[in-house]
Chain A
């Protein structure tokens, strides 16, 4: 079979001798040839010690890091009041929440999870969640788990408040939507570690940078799905809302947001899961909790401890996911 292409004219003349099979796999041949050439050149460079081919002739690394250091230092000094305010308030909120969670006796906590799981999802999910939570207590990771939960809850609260607001704005304005889309894309392709950087820069080590990183890491799905959910509301219902003279706010609060709730909840579910993941990783910047247990155990080569703490994290994630998924499902059933 012959493909008429714009190369026809050429093949008539210079490429006349090349067999049709080779024409078909031209791309693959070129790639192989390129790789062969690259290896050959590398080999020759090492064989003949070509100067400058292995070391970069310039190094702008130092000036760059220096200037960033300077900028951050300047910000930290001049906006100290701002960072201090965030840091202080977060510390207070985290501390209070952790103290509270630890203060609640474990049977009460387990019973609460049972009830919530049952009411919000199903009895089975409630029961399984309660048993799983009790297991965490049984392996003496209760306090660590509560610290992780505290970091997660505070971060999720912040993410949801900010995420919902930005999501609503984006759904109302195509400009905002177009503006945040590449930012969100970028955020979601960045590796989790990168999120630890800004926290350390401005807040040093501890639970506060952990919360900052967790918020940054977990906010995109909340924004995206709020935006999507509102935009996806059945246009005929929105039209009816407008026809009866709803103001923009009334349309939003009485029609669009209530109908977008299942989608928004799916976003919040993802936010919660991401927050849990980041609250664990954030042990690397000094956050306490289950992540820290894993890190410590691995550092001391206590595989058993590391494994148990790891499983505790998984259990926590499953409990949170099951309950919130169950809620979304029941809610979706009631609005459709």
Chain B
């Protein structure tokens, strides 16, 4: 990166992308739509009055370094306009876009090109591959434009093609490949330049559902390795939830809600968002911590079987969570196991033969936690990042939530939002 600037103190606190009050109005008299008297007036009415399209309306957000930020909305809501403004393929009408502390909108033509060559790369819905070039020449395009020597750029392109699963197809023509394959080329082309920021405009929307799911998975895999800052556009909330960290939901050029999948599914700001979330099963986005209960009965490893036995009898619990000195859960024991431990004349629980199920991190989604819980007749420990015991998740609690969610989904659901 050439535009690194020394001013940033600590990487984590400076967002990779900051968008402030961004407007884009298509049309001759576009600036007029920014006037205060049009504030709060619906987009369609502004269009009638001024004969211009308000594609972005005072959009602001920040994306942290390494974050996957998802922008979701129906067709025409301004998603593509938004990413194209970030890379200056479209000139915004007003606002500010800071990347690495520099306002992209102040760049002159030459700097914009440098910025595009070195800091951002984009993946397009319709791939945008050069049909007259082979796959590898397409993947190397960004480096070629940058002036990297041929042998080096082909090497790097080949390495990236291998990463996206296209080795062996380097010299195929794009038109010989399936849609999914072509989009892999698009992805490889973007990643070959090793950009800090990756912009993806509905990259998987044109693909079959199966291929789509597969591509998402592969992207997640690549991302866990590369830690790019990604702005991911989609018109599909399901995809948004699978891919993303935070999600911004757009309507008519405005962000109407911005939050984690959990926040959006749990507390949609209005009916429009709620409509989107209808088809989404809550178990997919709600973390296990939402249905965990406080651990029924906790004992330290050092406790004597006898005292533990007493506590259990008094509180009438059939299981006890055993923790070590770091509050980490080392096992779950039944009354019988405690009793047999006591019968062996042991004065602590250190060597007890207890159940040792895999603990579930508290931020795991209910859906993912499901297979870890079902099939055990004892509750499963839920832990925080440090592995400390936070609570327990029981089979009955999880069945309850699944039953509830099935009931919600059984309600007549309107047809899914039309695809873009």
Contacts and interface: CB of A to CB of B under 8 A. Distances in A.
Given A245-B117, A247-B113, A259-B131, A236 B146 contact: no
A56 interface: no
Nearest to B112: A245
B335 to A, nearest CB: 66
A325 B130 CA distance: 24
A250 interface: yes
A245 B132 contact: no
Interface string A229-249: 000000011011111111100
Interface residues of A, number: 20
A55 B130 CA distance: 68
A272 B72 CA distance: 53
A246 B127 CA distance: 17
B114 A245 contact: yes
Interface stretch (B27-35, B118-126, B271-279): B118-126
A237 B133 CA distance: 12
B417 interface: no
A244 B121 contact: yes
A255 interface: yes
Contacts of B129: 237, 240
Contacts of B131: 237, 259, 335-336
A45 B126 CA distance: 74
A236 B117 contact: no
A241 B141 CA distance: 8
Given A245-B113, A245-B114, A336-B175, A239 B132 contact: no
B116 A258 contact: no
A334 B130 CA distance: 12
Given A236-B126, A243-B121, A244-B145, A259 B89 contact: no
A245 B142 contact: yes
Q: Which range contains the number of B residues in contact with the other chain? A: 20 to 34
Interface string B128-157: 111110000000011011100000000000
Contact of B128 (A240, A245, A247, A261): A240
A254 to B, nearest CB: 7
A316 B33 CA distance: 64
A227 to B, nearest CB: 20
Interface in A48-70: none
B87 interface: yes
B138 to A, nearest CB: 9
B160 interface: no
B121 A250 contact: no
Contact of A239 (B115, B128, B146): B128
A243 B132 contact: no
Given A237-B130, A255-B130, A335-B132, A245 B89 contact: no
A250 B124 contact: no
Which 5 pairs show the lowest CB-CB distances between chains A and B? A240-B128, A245-B117, A245-B116, A243-B122, A244-B142
6 contacts: A237-B128, A243-B121, A244-B117, A246-B113, A259-B131, A334-B132
Given A240-B127, A243-B121, A244-B121, 9 more contacts: A236-B126, A237-B130, A239-B124, A242-B89, A244-B142, A245-B115, A254-B144, A335-B131, A336-B131
